[in-house]
Structure 1
């Protein structure tokens, strides 16, 4: 339809069908056919034609005025979309786990915004599942395997979940020497939506070994789980990315390391769109590069 409107305006500009055809590289028959299609679509006659000239009908004049505005808006829209693909400007929406987001993602985003003043960022920090497509989110940083096979993934590095506690807690309650000791300890449990993560995975003699833990504290954010552990309220199982600084500083002590369940992925996931705006690609590459460069042990 836009092409036919452009042809219609070219006929008016050039003063005839043959001249418009030469301008656009179309045969006279093709020009006539497409003009007839346009008139058939609107159910009106747009041009009055004689052997020497053409003139607009009232309906043709109305269409010509509207077509000029419509094509100008279409050109502006295309320009804005192409600028979004070629320049680093415009909005980016992303999601990340709370702890990782606050300690690692936010500083990266702040530096990115300083470097690109025409970008805006909408950051959703949550430990719950996020529907990227349904919520219009450009990408998310996620732990673990990719559950939604329709998404694409960019690996960042490896993640390891560790059990840890504060020195004060271990001094009061002792250090567990085997995963089966955990039911006798106060464990801080993470809740995802309506499901509580009470089953902690380990490996014993090379085989998977799950232990159901108990505890008086349940939280729906990893940040609160970490703070309760730092305050000495119990053992927690957290991503090493989230507590590496606490481990390095001795604020938390890792336990049961020989029984670790192994490493999982840390990755950026995004919908399988054909072309991502440059601003989105740039922030994905920046986050992936900086996190990979400072990977947790």
Structure 2
């Protein structure tokens, strides 16, 4: 398909893939073509536009100012075009193509992967990739369709759907409680061995609210710090001290008695579970289908 000025739409698709992937080889792998073909089509596009779109070094490929402007304008339009064509092409029951999802490491393993297994069984023509990690992924640059995130969205401009809420609990092992004693008020938590999750914006300052509406803010002193929810849970289970964990992480531990919820008459601010989408106006049918499925799964199977 030729655009005004003899620009081929396929060249723009290849250009966008290189910009998003950060290199010719990665773009070629994502597109399923030879790297030489990618280089040829980018060079052809640059020749037709009369300007360089990339600065090529031995280690990486960087957009020029003109390349950045072209990418900013074209990438959202190409994503919308691709999703729109995909929706029209799809039947009412068959989902096909690929679906790439990212989620926090521990939550992804325990509460996204099981849902994906069921979703994949319902849609055998759909190729699914789950990436887990506690860093914030670049949705556009990494070609992510959905990011599952927990907590509070700091950027109000993000396109997101709230999947549900979760509680936060102060917890400890029965052995630690037996040694240190059971706290009777939030202030007493500051006297215990505190384990801090450093990924939180304020891991040592917590506000507890009583059923009657009274609130108490407590400043903790960390004996141990970690950046992993899984490591935090393991430390608490092994009796290293007290901390606050989301209800997803400790639901089974509380039911089995492996952990004890402290101060159950006091509540902490609840967090949210969100599906975050890349910028753009069109959300594809496969993405909408998974979000609807996962929202229901979290409310039913995911609660068990």
- TM-score computed with the length of structure 2 as normaliser: 0.64
Give the match for residue 204 of structure 2: 198
What is the match of residue 35 of structure 1? none
2:182 match: 175
CA contact (8 A) 1:185 1:215 kept: no
Residue in structure 1 matched with residue 300 of structure 2 by the alignment: 293
Which 10-residue stretch deviates more, 195-204 or 225-234? 195-204
Q: Which residue of 1 aligns with 2:290?
A: 283
Aligned with 1:109: secondary structure? helix
1:230 is displaced (CA, Å) by: 1.1
1:175, distance to aligned residue in structure 2 (A): 1.2
3-state SS of 2:167 partner: strand
Could you tell me which residue of structure 1 aligns to residue 41 of structure 2? none
2:125 corresponds in structure 1 to 118
| Counterpart selection for 2:260 from 253, 262, 270 | 253
Q: Secondary structure at the match of 1:257?
A: coil
Gap regions ≥5 residues in structure 1? 6-41, 43-77
Tell me, in whole angstroms, the C-alpha distance in 1 between the residues paired with 2:256 and 2:122: 32
The answer (yes or no) to whether the contact 2:236–2:243 under 8 Å persists in 1 is: yes
Residue 251 of structure 2 corresponds to 244
Residue 112 of structure 2 corresponds to: 105
- Aligned-pair distance for 1:84? 6.2
**8 Å Cα contact 1:189-1:196 kept in structure 2:** no
Using the alignment, how far apart are the partners of 1:296 and 1:248 within structure 2?
Answer: 12
1:82 pairs with 77, 82, 85, which one?
Answer: 85
Q: What corresponds to 2:72 in structure 1? A: none
Q: 1:189 to 1:3 in 2, by over 3 A?
A: closer
User: Which digits, 9 at most, give the CA deviation of each residue in 1:127-164, with x for residues without a partner?
Assistant: 34344345432222223333222223323222111001
Stretch of structure 1 that moved more, 129-138 or 94-103: 129-138
5+ residue gaps, structure 2, are 6-47, 49-80
Q: Which residue of 2 aligns with 1:45?
A: none
> Equivalences for 1:134-145 in 2 at 5 Å?
134-145=141-152
Change in 2 beyond 3 A, CA 1:199/1:134: farther
* 1:290 Cα offset (Å): 0.3
Query: Whose radius of gyration is greater, 1 or 2?
Result: 1
Task: Give the conservation status (yes or no) of the 8 Å contact 2:83–2:283.
Answer: no
Q: Which range is displaced more, 203-212 or 250-259? A: 203-212
How many Å separate the matches in 2 of 1:222 and 1:150? 27
CA RMSD between the two structures:
3.1
Task: Please identify, of 111-120 and 184-193, the stretch whose mean Cα deviation from structure 2 is larger.
Answer: 111-120
Q: Distance in 1 between matches of 2:278 and 2:83?
A: 22
Aligned residues: 226
